[in-house]
Structure 1
Amino acid sequence: MQRYTLTNSYIVFGLNTTNMELDKDIQPVSKGGFHCKLCDVNLPNKASVDDHLKGRKHQKLSSVRATRKAQEQNSLFVSGFVRQMSQLQLVDYFQQFGPVSEVIMDKEKGVYAIVEFSEAKGMELALSHDQHILDNQTLRVKPREKKEFKYIPKKKQDRGNMQLSLERLSQGLCQAASVSEQMQRVVESFQLSDNEKKVRSLLVELLQEVFTEFFPECCILPFGSSVNTFDIHSCDLDLFLDLEKTQIFQARAKGSSEQAGECQSEDARSEDSILSDIDLSTASPAEVLDLVAAVLRKCVPGVHKVQVLSSARLPVVKFSHQELGLQGDITINNKLAVRNTRFLQLCSGIDARLCPLVYSIRYWAKQKQLAGNPFGGGPLLNNYALTLLIIFFLQNRNPPILLAVNLLKEFACEEEECVIEGWDCTFPSQPIAVPPSKNTEDLCALMAGFFSFYGEFDFAGTVISLRDGRALPITGFLSKEAEKGEEAMQGLEKAGGSSTSKTVRLGPVNVLDPFELCHNVAGNLNERTQKAFRRECEEAAKYCRSLQYQRKSTKGKVWGLVRLFAPHGGGGAMQGSSGGAERNLAISIPFRAAALPDTVRSQLHSAKGLFRQLWFEKVCRAVVGVFRDVLKCSVTPSDGPEKVGARQEEEEEETGCGAVKDPGISAHAGTAAEDAMLADCTVPAGENVHETNNNYNPDTCPSSLSLSKKCNPQDTVHKGVKRPLSSEDGSLASPENKKQRLDSGIDHPSAHWHCLLWHRVWAGRRKVRRDLLKSLPEASRPEGGGVELETQVTERIAQERLGAEKLLEFTLEAEVLGGTENTHTVLKFIPGEDHTGIFQDFFHFLESFLPKMTEKVLEKLE
């Protein structure tokens, strides 16, 4: 009756166009349209308001609000009882006034309860009673506070629960005696209880029973967070529907029916299972998943919100179980994921320290907004990738805590050999088969070691391999033929695996799956996430060296993991790093292998341990090209700001390519000697510049590069060779407390240029670019943001100011870093006299323009 009344009010509202009787939740907006306070949505016109009020969301929230209001009218607020008081005791006491429908107790925020009666009469009798005494305690009873019902979106609820869980967690952590005990408490706080595990197990049994009726001899196997020993409350239930035996059953049944002839009637065939409608040997995954979804919708009690995602990397059917409050996924072609789960179970069983580390570091990463995207996807670390990073760290302790996968294979018996989709997935099934580690580090030291390890890790120049237990040089994955990972593929072929798989997707962070060696499990990360992860690791490592981390506070202050788990500070670190970049006047060009053309990738692949030097030459060539060709600056080699004047005269005499006197555009073309000079900035001793650049052969290269501080085509000044920092295969040869620059036996190369700026290339650049694009025919417009377009923009800016004097001169220093620092080229700017104060404007423009344009130029290099 209530719904009918509401519906009729909607009809009246929709028909009355002159004097609309607005619903109490609908308010007109000054700028036009309406706003629904209940659902917190804006509505553009009357028609949309009518549809909204009839919609499911508004009606559901209206019903919830009515229920809440009725509960408030029949409820009492009760306090004054002891913490040990049970709900049943309160129910028994208040039953004397009337039927009690529910008692809700909250002992976290304070000792109080909400007692709800089935009828308002019970509440009134309880309030009229003079005194309430229970177990010799005088209870304080008053009407429940009536609050306005407000809809809170789910994402806001999740955020609030996360903060609340940190508050509750912190109280327990501060009471622990050590960091190791704190980490154990983190595990206890987040892992599934025995009852939760039992409920999930029962649901799997139910699904197994139902699906066996439709897919005979099928098998449902749970994998992922629910069973890999790193489960958390409300994690999804990931399931693999194995139809391999079902396919055999269908083929056998089909063969039997063909031998029996056409004696079966249509009625008999219709009584067969769902397999009568599909041939599993030829059906597509989408077709099979549609059948799986149909079974879930019609035959599994409590299942709703079934959705087929056939376009995902691994097609899946998503579902929810209403009574259990669980969300689940079912896949039919993810057998490797089941094997990965078994591997994580094995690692957790081999060493008990892994589990507390994983729980603590996962929570830290979520608090720092590095992992745990609630909406899936996105450029954040997923739990699996983060867990593999932790295992890889433990593989690299001295002595190692966990063994590389290739070493684990040695402890597997013949029955445990396993090959899935051509990938060798062999490892022992029981942890007892693996000898225990001799490493005795406690959890406190391992947590600090994790942050130090990845705070000084070269993500850009290496590929993390759990199969080998070491970081592989990225050069083995650069050439078109070697993108699969030459070393990894060779090792796989020796083990009998497949080498015909897809290529590895290289990115800012490269973590190979331990079995599917073509899968980079961190391939979704972008450069910003990688920098944030490294920066947060550096900050955490610094904190872990303090007594606030290592020892419990005697003054009751927060310590240990509590300070480490403090939520991300809203970009403060980002602002600090940006400010530091401006103060140091430095711009970083990261090494991004995926953005390089195939020719350059092949050259870097051939360079092996010297790839950073060769890449540095390419970057220098591209940077000079941006300044000289795109921004129309004059660029000449330099020994440093103190020798610029003397060096200029010498270069003019030797090469005829000194500083340009005429600021016109044509004056920036340069001579052939200048092109050769700017093409490469550091070359092996005795090698011709262009031969080294285009025909880079590591076999003919000297064992150590001689570095040129002066990029002069006539001469090369060599520097001495310093101690080797790491071997060519990437293994460290220097102490842990020393920062290695490169993995070759030479000092890091660098170069200097003296630059003259002639035009305000940043002033009005967007408008000039927009006007230029409008003036050109659509067919002949250059690529947006490309080198050609930006060059034309600069030329148009220069044409408006022909005959201008030089605006600014500055020195540019370039240096390549790598090893225990992320591989990148640092460009440092040293301004000359700047009476007009324009250098900061120019540098601010370069901060965003130079890295992007350098990458564009690198993409065009051959």
Structure 2
Amino acid sequence: MDDVISATSLLTIPSMEADIRTTPKGFLCVLCNVNIPNQPSLEQHLKGRKHETLSNVRSTRKSQEERSVFVSGLKPDVSNSDVAEYFQRFGSITDVIMDKNKGVYAIVQFDEVAGVNAALSHDEHQLKGLKLRVKPREKKEFKLIPKKKNYFQNLQEVCERLKPELCQLTSVNAQMQYMVERFQLGENEKKSRSLVIQLLQEVFVEFFPDSQIIPFGSSVNTFGIHSCDLDLFLDLENTKVFQAHAKANMEQAGEGVSDDGRSEDSILSDIDLSTASPAELLDLVAVILKRCVPSVDKVNVVSTARLPVVKFQHKELHLQGDITLNNRLAVRNTRFLQLCSGAEERLRPLVYTLRLWAKQKQLAGNPSGAGPLLNNYALTLLVLYYLQNCEPPVLPTVNQLKDMACEEEECVIENWDCTFPTQAIAVPPSKNTQELCSLLAGFFSFYAQFEFATNVISLRTGRSDPLTNVQKAAADDDMQQDCSAKPPQGGPRIGPMNILDPFELSHNVAGNLNERTARSFQKECQEAEKYCRSLQYQVKSNKGKSWGLVRLLTPQGEGPQARMDLLTVSILLRSEGLPEDLQNQQHVAKDAFSVLWFQRVCAVVEGIFQNVLKCHLVSAPEVLEEGQDVDLSSSLDDSGLSVESPVNPGPNVGGKRPLSSGSDDSVSPHGKKPRLTKRGRSVLSPWLWEQRHSVWAGRRKVRRELIKDSEAKAEGSCVELETQVTTHITEKEPQLKEALQFKLQPQLVVATESTSTLLKFQPIQDSEGVFQDFFHFLEVFLPKMVDTMLVKRADNS
């Protein structure tokens, strides 16, 4: 019966029936090869970016097939232009795709279907003495081909095979060196990449005289692994000079110049590099790759990236590559990593080990180059910064390297000072003699307690700057009028983890991270720190058990507790964003203010769930008996809402009287003030909430409808509007077949320089599998709404 209902409701979505199949557990999208648990999620999927993109690609390919003919009987000396010129007589041509490796067939694509009919109705086709065979292009069913996993994506399987060999080694140091040997690029791989670069250089120099193809990134920075991408920079500066001189000479001679002032026989006559946009140049690069470079396919222009690129694949080598323009800073960063690697031999084993660790713990390795995980460059900079802060330092700071450079080595790129020595011999050896195993354990200890939320990591100075100072400096720079000799304006993108590029100081290389990843990174560092203090890390097992790196590189757990650790939303205390009444309380209460702020946040969170999201409160928090002690590390089922006391507690901490600020707002939900236990913590039991509607599904569409005649507002910026959205959904959409129940435990975390409220969620009843969708919505919605309602409460008081 459920399937019948689902199928019937599916018919309300036009032209989608062929893509969707009903299953015992919900739906299957055949086009995207995705399982979908319920009707609201299905509707969201059909409106999603992936499904729409694949649908558009399928429509485009179907249209191309209908407007194309397949031509065989060609020979390698027949060019694209020869084929296009011949078939032009039958209709306008939009594209000619030839098999450039064998040169025996082509696909001719017409602008209209009439061109196909005219070509097929012609009795005989001859070109350069060759008798051509022309037939309709084969119609192929569109299928999503999943990407093949490369060597590194199969890391878990590879590490499993390496376990016996690693366990036989005598020390962690030897294990780390062994991992480098097994994962680093081999000599044959390096030679293959060099040949591809040479091939591309020979092709591109024909189109762009004096241009250069310069490799950067993992392939050449000494940290490359098997199957890593080949990152290339196409340098066109010399070509621009060449074109300008050629144009001037032609104009002066008055010969061979077309009406628009360009040389008719110049290979650059189709484009003026001095005025062409990056998008036009990238499109030209893509055309050259498609039509002129053997064994290259899957060429794709990615214009939405921070630095737009052309992606390609070399079929024979199974090598993925990127070509970018205007990326000299990336080339300089590569030289910087080469210098550090040459100056300190312990760096490569550390970086390789930590990259493998981060990949196994699902902290790094964005599959498509984008996403909320650490990229390899950001992780490497974390290693460098740690080594700069060892005692004594293992590596010098960027400013110290600048002082070691001679006058001829000075380098400025896009107004950023990128000076450092070109030779590693110019860097004095470190006085630090720690072994690799000790440095690895030190990395985890260093970042286990690091205050990421309030600090910005700078490799230039080798220290972390308070976030407020960096933001103020960026604001001061924006106010400067005379910036002719200064770097580009604007501060870095601030996020949960802030790591400044060593040279481009306006770029946060970890700006893509979300709070979940930053929190998971620190948690995994804390777990690794504990493990590195154990004998299992330090001493080889005589019984053949896993030890050392083997246990450290165990993949992230899949159990309930491991998943539970990720179901947390963090709300950071930002003093500058507090309403005036809370700022005044902060000034008076000082160290005790964190508890007052936490109580206010709890009250606001309750209001959001009950009034804005229309959740039903099944059970409210209850204050435990005064003096009763509860362990903060226990699970949701065993402990209530907990508050860690500040590092420097006020005079009330540890007492038996209730904490009071003199404000009625500083109370926990339902007006209850938490009492302090003997260990300086206030404890309440968790909330138990129930939600009967999918209030997270389709909110944007509903919001747009409600504000059609008024100015649009950002999500979470208007309490009344978001309440109306929820009300509309609950009134118009059917209820869930079984209500979703979840526990919510707020916890106050007070550190030296940051304070935050952690909202820990646990699904209790989720028969329809909707909790993950609900939680992903809350990750974005709750922090914004809490800030909004804190200000609103202050305005209304």
Which of 661, 665, 676 is the equivalent residue of 1:711? 661
Normalization by structure 1: what TM-score? 0.58
Match in the other structure for 1:818: 751
Deviations 1:47-96 (A, max 9, x none): x9xx99x99xxxxxxxxxxxxxxxxxxxxxxxxxxxxxxxxxxxxxxxxx
Residue 619 of structure 1 contacts residue 854 of structure 1 at CA under 8 Å; is this kept in 2? no
Separation in structure 1 between the aligned mates of residue 590 and residue 220 of structure 2, nearest angstrom: 42
Change (3 A) 1:704 1:328: same
Matched, 1:540 2:528: yes
Which of 545, 548, 554 is the equivalent residue of 1:557? 545
Please list every run of 5 or more consecutive structure 2 residues that lacks an aligned counterpart in the other structure: 1-20, 36-54, 63-143, 612-616, 628-644, 654-658, 667-679, 729-744, 762-773, 792-797
Change (3 A) 1:752 1:173: closer
Separation in structure 1 between the aligned mates of residue 542 and residue 258 of structure 2, nearest angstrom: 84
Which one-letter code corresponds to 2:364 in the other structure?
A: A
Matched, 1:482 2:411: no
Which one-letter code corresponds to 2:194 in the other structure?
A: S
Separation in structure 2 between the aligned mates of residue 319 and residue 826 of structure 1, nearest angstrom: 43
Match in the other structure for 1:232: 225
Match in the other structure for 1:415: 408
Deviations 1:277-310 (A, max 9, x none): 1111111001111221222222222222222222
Change (3 A) 1:296 1:359: same
Which of 566, 586, 609 is the equivalent residue of 2:554? 566
Which one-letter code corresponds to 1:857 in the other structure?
A: V
Matches within 5 A, 1:14-413: 153-155=146-148, 161-262=154-255, 264=257, 272-413=265-406
Separation in structure 1 between the aligned mates of residue 34 and residue 255 of structure 2, nearest angstrom: 63
Shift in Å at residue 478 of structure 1?
4.0
Change (3 A) 1:434 1:617: farther
Residue 451 of structure 1 contacts residue 538 of structure 1 at CA under 8 Å; is this kept in 2? yes
Say which SS state the counterpart of residue 317 (structure 1) adopts: strand
Separation in structure 2 between the aligned mates of residue 499 and residue 164 of structure 1, nearest angstrom: 46
Change (3 A) 1:572 1:274: farther
Separation in structure 2 between the aligned mates of residue 474 and residue 616 of structure 1, nearest angstrom: 23
Separation in structure 2 between the aligned mates of residue 295 and residue 612 of structure 1, nearest angstrom: 64
Change (3 A) 1:770 1:368: closer
Matches within 5 A, 1:587-626: 589-591=570-572, 621-626=600-605
Residue 217 of structure 2 contacts residue 334 of structure 2 at CA under 8 Å; is this kept in 1? yes
Residue 170 of structure 1 contacts residue 562 of structure 1 at CA under 8 Å; is this kept in 2? yes
Which of 431, 434, 455 is the equivalent residue of 1:441? 434
Separation in structure 2 between the aligned mates of residue 861 and residue 541 of structure 1, nearest angstrom: 37
Separation in structure 2 between the aligned mates of residue 846 and residue 612 of structure 1, nearest angstrom: 32
Please, which moves more after superposition, 503-512 or 565-574? 565-574
Deviations 1:171-226 (A, max 9, x none): 22122111111100000001111111112112212222221221111111100000
Residue 484 of structure 1 contacts residue 518 of structure 1 at CA under 8 Å; is this kept in 2? no
The two structures, once aligned, show a CA RMSD in angstroms of 5.3
Separation in structure 2 between the aligned mates of residue 628 and residue 236 of structure 1, nearest angstrom: 49
Say which SS state the counterpart of residue 428 (structure 1) adopts: coil
Match in the other structure for 2:8: none
Matched, 1:857 2:790: no
Shift in Å at residue 503 of structure 1?
3.0
Separation in structure 2 between the aligned mates of residue 444 and residue 432 of structure 1, nearest angstrom: 26
Which one-letter code corresponds to 2:719 in the other structure?
A: V
Match in the other structure for 1:511: 499
Residue 286 of structure 2 contacts residue 310 of structure 2 at CA under 8 Å; is this kept in 1? yes
Match in the other structure for 2:509: 521
Say which SS state the counterpart of residue 399 (structure 2) adopts: helix
Match in the other structure for 1:69: none
Please list every run of 5 or more consecutive structure 1 residues that lacks an aligned counterpart in the other structure: 1-27, 43-47, 56-150, 582-586, 644-681, 684-702, 717-749, 797-811, 830-844
Separation in structure 2 between the aligned mates of residue 401 and residue 409 of structure 1, nearest angstrom: 17
Shift in Å at residue 328 of structure 1?
0.9
Change (3 A) 1:176 1:769: closer
Deviations 1:469-521 (A, max 9, x none): 11111112345x736899xx99xx99x96343333111111111111111111
Which one-letter code corresponds to 1:453 in the other structure?
A: F
Residue 341 of structure 2 contacts residue 348 of structure 2 at CA under 8 Å; is this kept in 1? yes
Separation in structure 2 between the aligned mates of residue 420 and residue 527 of structure 1, nearest angstrom: 32
Change (3 A) 1:792 1:705: farther
**Which structure is larger by alpha-carbon Rg, 1 or 2?**
1
Which one-letter code corresponds to 2:205 in the other structure?
A: T
Which one-letter code corresponds to 2:524 in the other structure?
A: E
Change (3 A) 1:850 1:791: farther
Which one-letter code corresponds to 1:344 in the other structure?
A: L
Change (3 A) 1:570 1:156: farther
Separation in structure 2 between the aligned mates of residue 410 and residue 157 of structure 1, nearest angstrom: 42
Separation in structure 1 between the aligned mates of residue 559 and residue 214 of structure 2, nearest angstrom: 42
Which of 440, 444, 447 is the equivalent residue of 1:454? 447
Say which SS state the counterpart of residue 198 (structure 1) adopts: helix
Separation in structure 1 between the aligned mates of residue 212 and residue 696 of structure 2, nearest angstrom: 61
Residue 386 of structure 2 contacts residue 443 of structure 2 at CA under 8 Å; is this kept in 1? yes
Change (3 A) 1:642 1:420: same
Normalization by structure 2: what TM-score? 0.62
Deviations 1:792-839 (A, max 9, x none): 89999xxxxxxxxxxxxxxx998551238x64246999xxxxxxxxxx
Shift in Å at residue 360 of structure 1?
0.6
Change (3 A) 1:712 1:178: same
Which one-letter code corresponds to 1:712 in the other structure?
A: G
Change (3 A) 1:615 1:239: farther
Match in the other structure for 2:719: 787
Change (3 A) 1:592 1:257: farther
Matched, 1:473 2:466: yes
Shift in Å at residue 311 of structure 1?
2.6
Separation in structure 2 between the aligned mates of residue 775 and residue 331 of structure 1, nearest angstrom: 39
Separation in structure 1 between the aligned mates of residue 697 and residue 260 of structure 2, nearest angstrom: 72
Residue 589 of structure 1 contacts residue 824 of structure 1 at CA under 8 Å; is this kept in 2? yes
Deviations 1:93-149 (A, max 9, x none): xxxxxxxxxxxxxxxxxxxxxxxxxxxxxxxxxxxxxxxxxxxxxxxxxxxxxxxxx
Identity %: 54
Change (3 A) 1:631 1:567: closer
Which one-letter code corresponds to 1:162 in the other structure?
A: L
Which one-letter code corresponds to 1:788 in the other structure?
A: E
Which one-letter code corresponds to 2:280 in the other structure?
A: E
Please, which moves more after superposition, 194-203 or 165-174? 165-174
Change (3 A) 1:364 1:209: same
Residue 156 of structure 2 contacts residue 360 of structure 2 at CA under 8 Å; is this kept in 1? no
Change (3 A) 1:509 1:629: closer
Matched, 1:531 2:464: no
Separation in structure 2 between the aligned mates of residue 213 and residue 371 of structure 1, nearest angstrom: 39
Residue 515 of structure 2 contacts residue 570 of structure 2 at CA under 8 Å; is this kept in 1? no
Residue 200 of structure 2 contacts residue 213 of structure 2 at CA under 8 Å; is this kept in 1? yes
Number of equivalent positions: 582
Say which SS state the counterpart of residue 449 (structure 1) adopts: helix
